[in-house]
Amino acid sequence: MLDKLQALESAALADLQSAQNEAALQEWKVKFLGRSAELSRILDELRGLPKEQRPAVGRRANEVKGALERAYQGRLEGARSAALDRTLREDRLDVTLPGATFPLGRLHPATQTLRQIYRIWAEMGFQVYRSPDVETEEHNFELLNMPAHHPARDMWDTFYTVDPGVLLRTHTSPGQIRVMRERAPEPIRVILPGMCYRYEQVSPRSEVQFNQVEGLAVGRNITFADLKGTLTAFARRFFGQAVNTRFRAAYFPFTEPSAEMDVECFVCGGEGCPVCKRTGWLEILGSGMVHPIVLQNGGYDPQQYSGFAFGMGPERITMLKHGIDDIRGFWANDLRFLEQF
């Protein structure tokens, strides 16, 4: 058996010298080191040898296998190096061809809209104020004129946590109470951007999470005319100076009176189309004068101070601006959608 291993090693090494490329080397490997090679059969037959011969034969078989594997790796590296040298010598390289392009990242479409909104409100004298995503039931509802069991709470499908009275905010309006209590009795002009969460059925027009930008202005002698003028100025800066706007009466428990603001449909020019549901108008935000109870809860005397508030959804505005018909695209991480912006 030892003589057989010696002959096998010599034959394999001699045959290896004639393999000049990777294909030939692969065939050699299968022939001498493969599962059905003679060396593998010898290793499988060790258990059938006499007990006193097994150590010597097993040791010699492993030595032969190691020697063949080292020789194969050396020849393989040499063949690859020779193939590379041959390619560099014989193949032509056209240095005038354009190089490979690398895809560049870009801002998420919602982030683009948010930054545009920030810039416009900053130009109008509003500061950015951040409030927490995890809120108390008191800030999210009670201090906003929605006590326990108030029917208005049905407007928001809420994610509650395991801690009693703690939830994921359903809107950015709780930030109104926080900023008022920090700055009362000083005048306030802030926007409060952030993510909101609602337990809703995911559909082309609703998601369980979405951005919202709240706005709040508090001071002496602020009127509804200030609200209309401010929001109209924002719409013209965002959608263009020629855009038409309108206000419709609405209900929000933390503002009185309340209104929703529409802009003329920029797809059909107000004539009516599927995007605007044949009305010629697109809703972009809700607004109203801050309710006296909310002002009082924030630390302001409603007899001396007044204010207005508004809330807009950047994803909804982005959908309107670009004619997007499915809000789920914002959070699906589909590059085919995101790279359009």
Segment 149-191, tens digit of pLDDT:
888 777 778 899 999 999 999 999 999 999 999 999 999 999 9
Of residues 126 and 264, the one with the higher pLDDT is 126
Same domain, 333 and 215: yes
CATH of the domain at 149: 3.30.930.10
Residue-level pLDDT at 256:
94
**What CA–CA distance (Å, rounded) separates 213 from 122?**
13
Contact 57, 49 (CB under 8 A): yes
Q: What is the mean pLDDT of the chain?
A: 86
One domain for residues 85 and 155 = no
Q: Are 260 and 206 members of one domain? A: yes
Place of tokens 């870009």: 106
CB 57 within 8 A of CB 5: yes
Task: Dig out the tokens for 205 from the structure.
Answer: 């027009």
Q: Is residue 103 part of a domain?
A: no
Under a CB-based contact definition with an 8 Å cutoff, are residues 254 and 173 in contact? yes
Of 60, 90, 120, which marks where a domain is finished? 90
C-alpha to C-alpha distance for 64 and 256, rounded to whole angstroms = 92
Is 40 in the same domain as 126?
no
Residues 151 and 247 in one domain: yes
Burial of 337: CB neighbours in 10 Å, binned 0-12, 13-18, 19+: middle
Range of the domain at 82: 2-90
Q: Say yes or no: 197 and 126 in one domain.
A: yes
The number of domains in the chain is 2
Q: What integer is the mean pLDDT of 187-212? A: 89
**Is pLDDT of 212 > 80?**
yes
Q: Is residue 98 part of a domain?
A: no
Q: Are residues 123 and 14 in the same domain?
A: no
Residue 100 lies in a domain: no
Between 1 and 197, the higher pLDDT residue: 197
- Do 230 and 310 belong to one domain? yes
Same domain, 83 and 140: no
What's the confidence (pLDDT) of residue 145?
A: 92
Q: What is the band of 126 on the pLDDT scale with cuts at 50, 70, 90? A: very high
Confidence grade of residue 1 (pLDDT, cut at 50, 70, 90): low
For the segment 326-337, the average pLDDT, to the nearest whole number, is 87
**pLDDT digits 0-9 by tens, 22-81:** 788 788 777 777 777 776 777 766 677 777 777 777 777 777 778 877 887 887 888 888
The string over 105-142, giving b where at least 16 C-beta atoms fall within 10 Å of a residue's C-beta and e elsewhere, is eeeebbeebbebbeebbeeeebeebebeeebbbebbbb
Does the structure show a pLDDT above 70 at 195?
A: yes
Model confidence at 240: pLDDT above 80: yes
List the structure tokens of 240. Answer: 């263009």
Same domain, 196 and 53: no
Tell me which of 14 and 186 has the higher pLDDT. 186
Inside any domain, residue 101: no
User: Which pLDDT score is estimated for 92?
Assistant: 74
Last residue of a domain, one of 36, 62, 90: 90
The reply to whether 224 and 292 lie within a common domain is yes
Flag whether 219 is in a domain.
Answer: yes
Domain end call among 90, 119, 136: 90
Identify whether residues 52 and 121 lie together within a single domain.
no
